[in-house]
């Protein structure tokens, strides 16, 4: 194949579920666009996680697929919520190629049912026979695993750097709303959708209190409104006179807009969630708390970072073995002494 390929292919990239994994697909999209500059490249993603690619210049359209919706939410959805519904939707678009950045069996069945003739993905979950070309899911960072899907199709991978983009109008809105001054801005992401990754509200409250009192920090949150109670529990442990130094953007910015806030932070601290990967895509330093998942595969990509993980990760809540002193010691090098 001549590269870059001049043909106007129609290409689908499948990467639904999880904010962090969707952000980590950006280097793959960039290298794919470089290989096929004249192609129409669409990304099949889930609502919310797909919004992290809203401003990505390497894709044409974001297509939403929500197989996990149930009940009334599923009935009201304006996008496919079943495998057959998604296959029918994609078949009408007549894609030539599909690159599957998921490892499940169903994600390989979907492009087959959609009639996409050239399918490339991971040889996992007994699905290699469904693909024209496949690659093992190797013991390496997720970004490199995604790039292996391109390599399996003999496409060149010329760089692996991280990047992201924001909307100028949202940038201006965030700038107007940020407190004036030059205090260190620290974004805190304290809640995971996976309970085994959680730390504890009281310990986050302890660290936030220290950040404000001892390091003159300005604290920012932006999370799903469903987690409002968890952040309220954290703030309940912060002395009332310090609450004015904490700023919650959860009802003001969606995930599509959160990058405009994150890129203005001096440091991001919190759990292994999509927010630390989103911050890393803007090259913001990260201090991440890692429990059950391996940091070598999921650490922040292409940014300065520190990973904290207890030596013993057994049991339902391994992060509870991390002490406040350990976390303060990890944060301290990133913050000026007032």
Question: What CATH number is given to the structural domain containing 44?
Answer: 3.40.50.2000
How many CB atoms neighbour CB 133 within 10 A?
A: 16
How does pLDDT run across 194-225, given as a tens digit for each residue?
888 999 999 999 999 999 999 999 999 999 98
Domain that holds residue 299: 168-334
What pLDDT is stored for residue 1 in this prediction?
55
> Residues 231, 297: one domain?
yes
> Residues 302, 244: one domain?
yes
Task: Among 152, 186, 214, identify where a domain stops.
Answer: 152
31 φ, ψ to 5°? -70, -35
CB 57 within 8 A of CB 165: yes
> Residues 131, 178: one domain?
no
What pLDDT is stored for residue 78 in this prediction?
84
Q: In what order do the strands lie in the sheet with 286-289?
A: 246-248, 218-221, 185-189, 267-271, 286-289, 305-308
> Residues 232, 299: one domain?
yes
Does residue 162 belong to any structural domain of this protein? no
Task: Among 152, 178, 206, identify where a domain stops.
Answer: 152
What pLDDT is stored for residue 2 in this prediction?
56
What pLDDT is stored for residue 121 in this prediction?
98
> Residues 145, 177: one domain?
no
What pLDDT is stored for residue 71 in this prediction?
78
> Residues 142, 200: one domain?
no
> Residues 136, 176: one domain?
no
Q: What's the rounded Cα separation, in Å, for the pair 93 and 72?
A: 28
Does residue 159 belong to any structural domain of this protein? no
Positions in the chain whose pLDDT score sits under 50: none
> Residues 118, 242: one domain?
no
Does residue 3 belong to any structural domain of this protein? no
Does residue 158 belong to any structural domain of this protein? no
Does residue 236 belong to any structural domain of this protein? yes
Q: What is the total count of domains within the chain?
A: 2
> Residues 196, 307: one domain?
yes
Does residue 157 belong to any structural domain of this protein? no
Q: What's the rounded Cα separation, in Å, for the pair 176 and 186?
A: 18
């Amino acid at each position: 194949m001549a590269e870059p390929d001049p043909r106007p292919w129609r290409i689908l990239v499948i990467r639904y579920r999880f904010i962090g994994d969707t952000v980590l697909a950006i280097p793959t999209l960039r290298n794919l666009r470089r290989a096929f500059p004249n192609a129409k490249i669409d990304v099949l993603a889930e609502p919310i996680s797909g919004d992290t690619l809203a401003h990505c210049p390497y894709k044409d359209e974001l297509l939403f697929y929500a197989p996990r919706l149930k009940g009334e939410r599923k009935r009201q959805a304006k996008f496919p919520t079943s495998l057959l519904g998604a296959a029918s939707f994609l078949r009408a678009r007549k894609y030539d190629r599909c690159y599957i950045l998921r490892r499940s069996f169903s994600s390989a069945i979907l492009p087959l049912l959609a009639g996409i003739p050239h399918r490339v993905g991971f040889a996992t979950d007994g699905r290699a026979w469904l693909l024209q070309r496949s690659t093992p899911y190797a013991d390496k960072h997720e970004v490199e695993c995604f790039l292996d899907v391109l390599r399996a199709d003999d496409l060149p991978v010329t760089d692996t750097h991280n990047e992201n983009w924001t909307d100028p109008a949202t940038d201006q809105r965030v700038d107007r709303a940020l407190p004036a001054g030059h205090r260190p801005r620290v974004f805190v992401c304290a809640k995971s959708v996976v309970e085994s990754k959680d730390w504890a509200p009281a310990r986050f409250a302890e660290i936030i209190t220290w950040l404000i009192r001892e390091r003159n920090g300005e604290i920012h949150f932006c999370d799903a409104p469903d987690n409002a109670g968890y952040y309220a529990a954290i703030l309940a442990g912060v002395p009332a006179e310090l609450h004015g130094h904490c700023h919650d953007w959860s009802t003001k910015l969606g995930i599509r807009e959160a990058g405009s806030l994150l890129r203005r932070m001096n440091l991001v601290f919190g759990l292994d969630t999509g927010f630390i990967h989103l911050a890393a895509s803007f090259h913001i330093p990260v201090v991440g708390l890692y429990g059950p998942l391996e940091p070598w595969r999921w650490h922040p990509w292409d940014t300065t970072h520190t990973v904290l993980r207890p030596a013993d990760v057994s049991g339902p809540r391994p992060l509870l073995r991390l002490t406040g002193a350990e976390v303060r010691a990890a944060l301290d090098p990133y913050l000026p002494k007032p």
